[in-house]
A and B are shown apart, each in its own frame.
Chain A
Amino acid sequence: QRFRFCGDLDCPDWVLAEISTLAKSSVKLKLICGQVLRDLLGEAMEYEKILRLTSDAKLELGDVKATIAVLGFVLCSAAKHGVDSESLASELQQLGLPKEHASGLCRCYEEKQSCLQDKLRARSLRLSRLGSVCWRVDHTLSSSELREVDEPLVHLTFNMQDGECGGTATIPMVLSADKFRVLLAELRQAQALMNSLI
């Protein structure tokens, strides 16, 4: 059977198994979801709080980790495929999660859906990222070849974050006035094309 929150594929076996475990226990799912969402959004997860919440339901350490894993998968996967919270609730109920658990989970999801999607968008594959641009304009007075040069010169430095190896790279270059005008014209055309898309 196909599920939208799994990307129109079958639900993985381990998720099915963990959902049936969750269905049987009486954990306060909404609070644990809140903690898992904090972790997914980049803040620190308060693991001790989760342990306290699950100790009432007498879950073992392995089960606690499995619960965190399955909640993380469901929330991330639903955000990835842009599933709305009603569809998510109905699909989770089809998989055997009781109505209260499913609606609690989906309320958490609905609140944070756009934040989660923004976070996932930022995490998408990027090969390189422009950090900053530094520039300087000089005026060459004279050189060993010609006594009166009198020409402006642009120094450009691009600071890049290399996505391939994860370091920073610095690319310095020097341009004459004409070359700089060409660069500027081409970049302006590219900018106009980008603006026409937005």
Chain B
Amino acid sequence: MLLVLSEEHKAHLGSLLQAGGPAIGELGRLAVELLRRGAAPRACETAARKLNIDVDIVQHGVEGLTYLLTECSKLMISEIDFQDSIHVLGFSDELNKLLLQLYLDNRKEIRRILSELEPKLPSYHSLEWRLDVQLASRSLRQQIKPAVTIKLHLSQNEDQTAQVLQTDPSTLLHLIQQLEQALGEMKTNHCRRIVRNMK
């Protein structure tokens, strides 16, 4: 599938023409660093001074390259489609080849970074438990009431929360039975068929 570039995007990338071949390598490296570590205005300024271009042009060029790389990696665009998409910019063949190489070299890493941006639910971290027996209370003596207290530690994006739950042994057995049933679902023919097709 083809990537359609907006006019603004085309203008930003067009400024790369001013920079020329060797500069593209430098700007490409800056674009990938931008994805890995975030904005680095000082790096752009040093690059602008080294290449003797305006800082704004370098900034726009890097951002344009970053956007181009992320969109193409996100959609997993093939080589031919990539070449056709950037053909509209009117770059030289050499420049097109450089851009294609930049895309192919970094696609896997960019996709890994993008995969970390999805919304996350709290996930299991650890579980503490204890088994108590209540022998007496203010209102009633001579009791035997077992209870399991559970502290469920969850983590979500580096935040740790803890949830305290308490249950009697029969509810706990029921819970274990339900969870074992859920695990057992993986062994049914239906799930096996889907897993086989995914692999």
Q: Which residue of chain A has the shortest Cβ distance to B164 in the bound complex? A: A164
CA distance A125 to B164 in the complex (A): 10
Q: Does B112 lie at the interface of the complex (its beta carbon under 8 Å from any beta carbon of A)?
A: no
Answer yes or no: B5 CB below 8 A from chain A CBs.
Answer: no
Residues of A within 8 A of B149 (CB): 125, 127
How many residues from B make CB contacts under 8 Å with A? Answer: 11
The CA of A197 and the CA of B151, in the complex, are separated in Å by 27
Interface locus among B59-67, B99-107, B127-135, B189-197: B127-135
B138 within 8 A of A: yes
Bound together, the chains give a CA A126 to CA B164 distance in angstroms of 11
Task: Please encode chain A, from 157 to 198, with 1 for each CB lying within 8 Å of some chain B CB and 0 for all others.
Answer: 000000111000000000000000000001000100100010
Complex partner residue of A124 from B130, B135, B136, B138, CB under 8 angstroms = B130
User: CB of B40 within 8 A of chain A?
Assistant: no
Distance in angstroms from A138 CB to nearest chain B CB is 27
Instruction: Known contacts A164-B162, A164-B164, A165-B162; decide if A125 and B138 are in contact (CB<8 Å).
Output: no
A 97-127 binary contact with B (CB < 8 Å = 1; else 0) = 0000000000000000000000000001101
Please judge, given known A-B contacts A164-B162, A164-B164, A165-B162, whether A125 and B151 are in contact too, CB under 8 Å. yes
Interface centre among A125, A127, A164, A190 (most CB of B within 10 A): A125
Cβ-closest chain A residue relative to B163 = A164
Q: How far is the CA of A197 from the CA of B136 in the complex (A)?
A: 12
Per the bound structure, the CA–CA distance linking A193 and B143 in Å amounts to 12
Q: Across the interface, which residues of B come within 8 angstroms of A164, CB to CB?
A: 151, 162, 164
Min C-beta distance of B169 to chain A, whole Å:
17
7 contacts between A and B (CB under 8 A): A124-B128, A125-B129, A127-B149, A163-B151, A190-B136, A190-B138, A193-B135
Seen from chain A, the residues whose Cβ lies within 8 Å of a Cβ on chain B are 124-125, 127, 163-165, 186, 190, 193, 197
The 7 nearest A-B residue pairs measured at CB: A125-B128, A125-B130, A193-B136, A164-B164, A125-B151, A186-B138, A124-B130
